[in-house]
Every structure is written in C-alpha cells, then in structure tokens.
Structure 1
Amino acid sequence: MTYKYITFILTVCTIVSCSKPAIKETQKQQATVTSIKKEATVYATVKDSDLKLSLTGNYKFSNAIQPLETEVAIFVNTNKTFQTMLGIGGAITDASAVVFAKLPKNKQEEFLQAYYSKNGIGYNIIRTSIHSCDFSPESFTYIEEGDKELTTFSIKKDKEFRIPMIKKAMDLIKNDVVFYASPWSPPPFMKGKKDMLQGGKLLPEFYQSWATYYTKFIKAYEAEGMPVWGVTIQNEPMAVQRWESCIYTAEEERDFLKNYLGPTFKKEGLGDKNIVVWDHNRDLISHRANTIFEDPEAAKYAWGIGFHWYETWTGAEPNYNNLQNINDSFPTKNLLFTEGCQESFDPTQYQRWSNAERYGNSMINDFNNGVVGWTDWNVLLDETGGPNHVGNFCFAPIHADTQSGELIYTPTYYYIGHFSKFIRPNAKRVSTTSSRSTLESTSFINEDGTIATVVMNKTAAEIAYKVIVDEMEITLNIPAHAIQTLIY
C-alpha cells in the first residue's frame, strides 16, 4: 500500500486538540453534549477488504425505539462521563530509532506523518527506556561502571539515533506530547552483578545513587529541549528476564519511592514530574496498588499505576476486572497502559488479523475500566522483528524492510488508529454498553463536543446493530472481523 493511499483514507476528519493533557476529575473537561447531531460519520477497517480507516458513509439518527431482545444494540448515555484521556501512543526504543535511521528520507517522513500527524493516527504519547532495554542493539548505561557518584553521567549514546527520532515526533505532536521513561535495570554494580541481565535486586547502598540517576536523565533530556512528563519506577519488577531486569517486591518499591525517589525528585526541583508504579501485568496489580497506595507517605509521590497485558502467558484471560477494582479503590490515582505487543515475530504473519483484534479488545476494555492513557510497545521494527540483543523478536504496528526501504503497515496500525485518531487528549469517556458480548464498544466526547464511539466485531459473521444515543438511534451493519468508529 502506498502512503498516498494511506494519506487519502486517513485524511477524513479534523480533530480539535487541546494544549495540555488532563487526568480524571482533577482537571475539568468543558465539553458538553447539547444535542446529538443529525447524522453519524462512520469509518471502518475490515478484514479481507480494502477498507482501512476508510470513510464508509453517513447515517441519519431517528427517534429511538425500545429495542427487542432479538436485536443487538450499543447504548450510549451522554449524561454519564468518566475519566479524562491523557493520550495514546507507543515507545520509541533504540531498536525503533536504529531502524528509522536506515530508512530513506521520504520513508522517514511518511512514517512520522503516519503516526504523529493529525492526517495520520495522531499519537501523542512517547515512552522510552532509561539507558538500554532488550530492544537496544546492546546493553549500556549512562555512566562508567562503578561510578556511584554519577560524575561520568552522559546521554551521548542516545544522541546518535534515539533523541533525533523523538524530537521529530515531538515536533509533530507539539503541545499535546506526553513523554515518559522507564528503566529496565540499574547499572550492574548497583545490583552486585556482572551485567544487567537476569534480574537481581538494587542493593540498599545504591538506593540514593539510583534515585539521583532518574533526575539526571530528566535534566539531560530536558536540556535537549525535550519535556519529560514522568517516569515509571521499574519495567516489570516481578520478572527475571534474560534481558535487562530488576526485581522489587511491593514493599521494596514502596519504600524506594517513599524514602528515595519521591524526596529526590522534590529536592532536585522535579516535584511536578509524574511517577508511575508497578509497570507490569494486570494479574498482580492489585497487590502492588494496595501496598503502595495505602501508605500515605508513598502514595503522595505516585501519580498512578502502569500495567502491561502479558498476564495471558499463563493461559488465563486478560484480568480487566482488576483495573476496575483499582479504579474503585483508589479513585485519585490513575491507570496507564504502559506496554503491550504481539510476541513471537513471524515475517509471514504481518497481516494476521488476530493481532489487531488483541489490540482492539484491550483498548476497549482498558478504557471501559478507567484507563486514562494507552502506550503500545515499539512503534517500528525491522523485517526480523528487531533489532533485539537477546533475540526477543516481536511485532510492531509498522515494520520496515531495511533491504528495500519499504514500510509494512499491519492491521494493528489501523485498529489503534480507530482510537487515537478520533479520541483526542482531554476527551472524556462516556457511558457505553453492549447488549451482546459479540460486540465490544467504548465512547469518548472530545473537547469540541464531537463523540467518537468505537465498535469492534471479532466474530466471523456480519452483525446488524443499533446505536442508541440518549433518545436517538441509528441502525448499522458491521462486517465480520471489523472495527468501526462513529463520529457524531
């Protein structure tokens, strides 16, 4: 598919964006629904078709009639609103940046426009790593090994590939940018290990040095003109990985936040930066939240809790209910999806539709359970699913064939776009339910008053359904294995 075609199908509506991202009820949303517009504009992405974020028609509302039990319906109540959207985006890792640098200039521009412009899918969140992660060509830190005082701290290595790419993305996002960073491991000596791989724990004598390391990262990046929104404390703190990793129990993370990281941010004039705890899967998230947020001295430094979707490695279903429990239990704290990707890269499966449906299912259910922001993993990988220095190759929404210089758009890119293009920062979630489990749906009202309702059909059959918005309704069909966004 050429980018001209992508631009054509994506340049379908203008979204009014806001100047600052907001969270929950701490910053008020001004948009209100005065009346439902007379018609809804519908965009669709459909398996085995040319429809990819394509305009498929306008449908007129009529007065709503009580639906029958035999009818499928989506119910939207605009009088009930919930969390405020921080944004949607993905991670610019070293791997993404190295692959980006190999692209021809015209393809680099195509890529940036596809993700970060309003003519593309309008990403505004960027995550990156504090020094290396598995999706780096090699392990590295910002200091010389053994430098407890951090006198050798330098982000020089990041300036070669990563920082230039992030700056280009930020230039397109402008004021809506939300940029945060996560460490995969402290330097080896701070764990008493020969390398950063295979877990280990931060030794108590280095707690202060490691807390200061975050502040040096923030200040160094901001000196490059890159505003840092915040950090997560540790990527996947309960997983001993064959790549960079570090283990914290809930109590250890609580005490590091309470006694070192939070006070150090405050002392260094970074008290306005947001600190996100956990940054791991939904399965154990409640224990981490209970341990940290029930401690007032720790909780005062935590903006919220981040999570991934990999709890399904056990064979279980995604634990969406745990998110709602945290939202109910700690209403002043925020939920942020910090990472998810389709594992086990296979170059013959770029167009595998179930990958995209995994994203759609997660985004709808995460948002409906109170999540304020959603961050995909690598925004770009090459034809091997890397580079990755430990062979942990994965899918990304867009891949680059570095031999031909071409970009490969997967269905996941379009499914994410059904949310990120139409649901803008500072939008508020609107009450939305489905009468059947065969259809999944969520809705948000943007600051300009437009409502975006996303509807996904994972089944192998076309489904006729009603959308009943307050006292008005429209009747639509959604094809098999399709996703639609209604704008009204």
Structure 2
Amino acid sequence: MKFKHTKKHLSVIAFTLLILSCTSNKKETEPLKRETMETPANISYTDKNVVVYTTAKDTNLRLTQTNNLTFVKSDQPSEAEVSVFVNPNKTFQEFLGIGGAITDASAEVFAKLRPETQEELLQAYFTKDGIGYNIIRTSIHSCDFSSGSYTYIDEGDAELTSFSIAHDKEFRIPMIKKAAALIQDDLIFYASPWSPPAFMKTNNDMLHGGKLLPEYNQAWANYYVKFIEAYEAEGLPVWGLTIQNEPMAVQIWESCIYTAEEERDFLKNYLGPTLEKAGMADKNIVVWDHNRDLLSHRANTIFEDPEAAKYAWGIGFHWYETWAGGDPMYDNLNNVQESFPTKNSLFTEGCNEGFTQEKYQYWPNAERYGNSMINDFNNGVTGWTDWNILLDENGGPNHVGNLCFAPIHADTKTGELIYTPAYYYIGHFSKFIHPKAKRVSTTTSRSTIESTTFKNIDGTMVTVVMNKTDHAIKYNFIVNDTQVALEILPHALQTLVY
C-alpha cells in the first residue's frame, strides 16, 4: 500500500515516532486498579439469598454462618436508620490477594511441631477450607525474626562467588514449598531485604541503620538477581520484590536507610536495569515498603521520574505510623492512587507489637486488622500481606527481642496451636474474596460501622461489615434497589455473601 506523504501525514508520523520513542524502552506495567468499570444498571438481587458469617467478641462465633436471608425490594432509608449502600455498577481495582510472611521465625517454630499439627496450620492458612491465603512474603537473608544475623555470601565477597541459600533450605524453603503447593496457580511470592551485608554499608553493620556504599550499588543489585535465581531453582516462582524494608527506620535489627532520591536512583540506575539485563523484567518491583506517613513523598519522588517509574510496579506500605500518635493515614493512600493511577499499592506488613500471652484473645488486636483492611482496600490497595504467619509462645524467635503477635501462635511445649481473633478477622476477607475480584462501590451512613465490597469473577458478591462499638447495631443492607435487614453484634465482623 502506498501513501502520499503530505505535510499532514508527515506530522502524524513524526508524532507517532515521538510517542514510540518515549515508551519503547519502558517496562510495561499492568495496573491492577484502573478506570472505574461500568456494568449494566439493571442488576437486581430481588429474591436472591445473602449468607452471613460472623465473628464476635464474648461469643463462640468464629467465621460462623449466622444467617441466610432473602433480598426484597428496598424502601427509601431514613436518616434515623443505619445503612450500608452497595452499587454493583461501579467497580474499581483488581484484587491481588491476601497472605502473610513465612520468616525464619515462622519456619523454625513450624519445624518443631508434630507433622499433623504442621498440616493443620497449612490447611488453616492456605486452603479453601481454611482462610485461603495466596500471598507469601519472605526476607532476603536475615531479618529481626531470625535466630541470628546472616547473609548468603562470605563477608567481603563483592563478586558474590560464595552465594548460597543453604541456610534457607533447612527450615524456610521447605515450609514455603508446602504452602506454595496448596496455593498452586494463585501464588504471589515476593521478597524483601532488611540490610545489605555489613561490608557494603557505611556503618559496617547489618544492624542500626547505615547506608549502602555507592561502590557496592551494582554488587547489591546483583544480589537480588542471585536470590531470584536460587529460589526459582528450588521451584518457587518469584513474583517480585521490594527494594528495602522500612528504608527510613534506624532499627536495632537489620536495617538500611535510603532517602527518596537514593531509592529512586538505585532503582533506575542499578536494580531496574540489572533485572532487565538478567531477563527478569517481568519481576514486580515495589518501592517504599514503609509506613503510610511518608508514602506520598516517596511516590512523588520516584514516580515523577519516568526513568525510575518505568521499573516500578507500585508502592508498598506498613501500618506502624501510629507509633508517633494519631490515627492511621489512610488519606495518603488515596492521594497516591489519584496522583499515580497507573501504579499499584500493596500492604506489605503489619502486626500487633508488645507480645504478652495474656493478650492472645485481645479483641482490639483483631479490630486493628479489620479497620486497616477495610480502609486500605477502600483507598485502592490491591493486596494485603500480614507479618509472621506463626510465632511461638514467647512471640518469637527474634534475635533482638522484638517480640510480636501473629494470627496463630504455637506453644512449642505442648504442641498446641493458639488461634487469635486476628486470624478470623483476616479470614472474613481472604476466605471469600478471590484473586482477580473487583472492588465495588460501598458506603455507610454512620461512622459506627465500616464496610467494603468485592465482586469475584464468578459473579459472587462479598461485603464485609465491622462494628467496633459496645452495642449491637441494626442496619439496612441495600444493594441497588433491594435490601435485607441485619444486625451486627458488638465488636463483631460480618461477611455477607450473595
């Protein structure tokens, strides 16, 4: 076919070439949350059933089916009533999944359990009969939840010729493999470093902060590649990684500080190109991996730089910003989503600190999960990763005494598993919402209850409702032009499936 090259044609061609030159070298990102999806407005739930599952304080209800109701034609709700409104015609980000971290601590405790108790734990977390986790996070060599500090190389080996994951093969990798075998195709497995080896850092110490020395930028980037290669050789496909766990925290355990500019430059000049050169451009790189407080500053610095942003799948965050007082900064999640709609967000860590056995059944610990998950998802988050999936009766092991709660603890003296309320609260989401679901428009008429909704790819709708008050609350559950009348107990979480 011949074209007559008029000035108009040439200008179109020049413009096309300009666009191609700006995009051809960029890693394509498949965002999990994009434009609102519109579905036909004539969806009706009249005469359809809604099944209700409940977990509640001071009861025996634990993910227990408590009701099976039928939608009827809705009436105009009044201001005096409490209502939850769901609009299935408006959907948002795609759901990646929910899971937790298999750390050295989790794996070491797991190894002490009887085979039948190990199987109970795996079934409880990673099957549909349990709560259906599909995300696993782990550390790149040691973190605080390890029995001691270690790396995969001999100290001083910048060429990485001694690189070996033999340490992980004793406890961690066998446990991850068992979990991955249950998750199968829905597995999302990613890793995070807490610190480079000591010789690569300004303070010559894996602990107490310090920074990566510039002369080791390339060696450290190569280290990530070695990790991915070694784990994938074990049959564990690596979905992605975060650049640095908590890059603004000087901790008494493994830690390393990156300013926003330093993380940006390491990503665009070393880590991104190194993964690409190794044939790993499909690995998803998550920046920040710290609290919501400084989230937007890190996003602004990295995502405004196109040469850095092209390598980043999105941004990760934790929930510990409340250490300084105040409430969780959920608005910052919304700001980043609105500012950078082609980037994803992932909750990468949260746990309840200050372990004591007297608080195994402490209900506010569970409600912290419910509040965070509802608000994180409602502000565009695609996936949610808890911290250790298993710890012992002391809240460890942890080589610096930073003892914390997990959803399930094991008493290694008796071999008993202890299920905390947090396990069931997480399950109200992870058991019913499946990968590739879409979040659905949901609001409440009172701040006394909180709610979020997802639509699974099979059409099943899942709404989670939480009541943190001391009183039972009656509410209208209104979906399009239909409704059911419900009541939620004090300090309870409900999942509605319809």
Find the residue that maps to 2:375 and give its secondary structure: helix
* Partner amino acid, structure 2, of 1:243: W
CA drift at 1:359: 0.2
User: Which whole-Å CA distance do the structure 1 matches of 2:39 and 2:144 have between them?
Assistant: 42
| CA distance 1:26–1:73, change in 2 (3 Å) | closer
SS in 1 for 2:185: helix
Separation in 2, partners of 1:27, 1:304: 19
Q: Does 1:284 align with 2:294?
A: yes
**5+ residue gaps, structure 2:** 1-29
Correspondent of 1:128 among 108, 131, 138: 138
Please say if residues 30 and 447 of structure 1, whose CA atoms lie closer than 8 Å, have aligned partners that are also in contact. Answer: no
CA deviation map 1:106-131 (0-9, x unaligned): 00000000000010000000000000
Contact 1:29 1:84 in 2 (8 A): no
State the partner residue of 2:488: 478
What is the rounded CA distance, in whole Å, between the counterparts of 1:316 and 1:339 in structure 2?
A: 19
Write out aligned runs for 1:419-430 (5 A).
419-430=429-440
Match of 2:123 in 1: 113
Partner in structure 1 of residue 32 of structure 2:
23
SS of alignment partner, residue 216 of structure 1: helix
Read off the aligned partner of 2:375 and give its amino acid letter: N
Question: Residues 341 and 248 from structure 1, CA distance in 2 versus in 1: closer, same or farther, beyond 3 angstroms?
Answer: same
Cα distance between partner residues in 1 of 2:154 and 2:376: 41
Provide closer, same or farther for how the CA distance between residues 404 and 193 of structure 1 changes in structure 2, counting only shifts above 3 A.
Answer: same
Residues 400-419 of structure 1: pairs in structure 2 closer than 5 A:
400-419=410-429
Contact 2:97 2:134 in 1 (8 A): yes
Paired with 1:311 and 1:300, the residues of 2 have a C-alpha distance of 28
Tell me the CA shift for residue 24 of structure 1: 2.0
Unaligned runs of 5+ in 1: 1-20
Partner-residue secondary structure (3-state), 2:382: strand
Q: 1:424 to 1:22 in 2, by over 3 A?
A: farther
- 1:341 shift after superposition: 0.2
Deviations 1:375-427 (A, max 9, x none): 00000000000000000000000000000000000000000000000011000
What residue is the counterpart of 1:146 in the other structure?
156
Offset from partner CA, 1:72-105 (integer Å, 9 cap, x none): 0000000000000000000000000000000000
CA distance in 1, matches of 2:183, 2:39: 22
Q: Which amino acid aligns with 2:326?
A: A
Q: Per-residue deviation at 1:303?
A: 0.1
Deviation, 1:192, is 3.8
TM-score (norm 1): 0.94
Q: Within 1, Cα distance between the matches of 2:36 and 2:188?
A: 16
Could you give the per-residue CA deviations for residues 171-229 of structure 1, whole angstroms, max 9, x where no partner exists?
Answer: 00000000000000000000043420000000000000000000100010000000000
Match for residue 17 of structure 1? none
List per-residue Cα deviations over 1:349-375 (Å, max 9, x = no partner): 100000000000000000000000000
Question: Out of 94, 100, 114, which is 1:90 matched to?
Answer: 100
Bigger-Rg structure (1/2): 2
Write the mapping of 1:127-276 to structure 2, written as runs, cut at 5 A.
127-276=137-286
CA separation in 2, counterparts of 1:25 and 1:231?
A: 22
Change in Cα spacing, 1:486 to 1:270, as seen in structure 2 (3 Å) is: same
Distance in 1 (alpha carbons) for counterparts of 2:269 and 2:199: 21
The alignment yields a C-alpha RMSD, in angstroms, of 1.6
Q: In the alignment, which of 350, 363, 369 is matched to residue 359 of structure 1?
A: 369
Question: Which residue number corresponds to residue 343 of structure 1?
Answer: 353
Rounded Cα–Cα distance in structure 2 between residues aligned with 1:348 and 1:122? 28
Distance across 1 between alignment mates of 2:65 and 2:31: 30
Q: How far is 1:38 from its partner?
A: 1.2
Give the equivalent residue in structure 1 for 2:407. Answer: 397
Contact kept? 2:31, 2:342, Cα under 8 Å: no
Normalising by the residue count of structure 2, what TM-score does the alignment of the two structures yield? 0.92
1:132-159 CA-to-partner distances (Å, cap 9, x unmatched) read 0000000000000000000000000000
Conservation of the 8 A alpha-carbon contact between 1:33 and 1:78: no
For 2:309, the equivalent position in structure 1 comes to 299
- Give the match's secondary structure for 2:65: strand
Over residues 8-53 of structure 1, what are the superposed CA-to-partner deviations in whole Å (9 max), with x where a residue is unaligned? xxxxxxxxxxxxx982249999999954261100000010111000
Aligned to 2:56: 46
Q: How far does the alpha carbon of each residue in 1:412-448 deviate from its partner, in whole angstroms, 9 at most, with x for none?
A: 0000000000011000000000000000000000010
**Equivalent pair of 2:37/2:92 in contact (CA under 8 Å):** no
Give the distance between the partners of 2:186 and 2:39, measured in 1 at CA.
17
**Equivalent in the alignment of 2:475:** 465
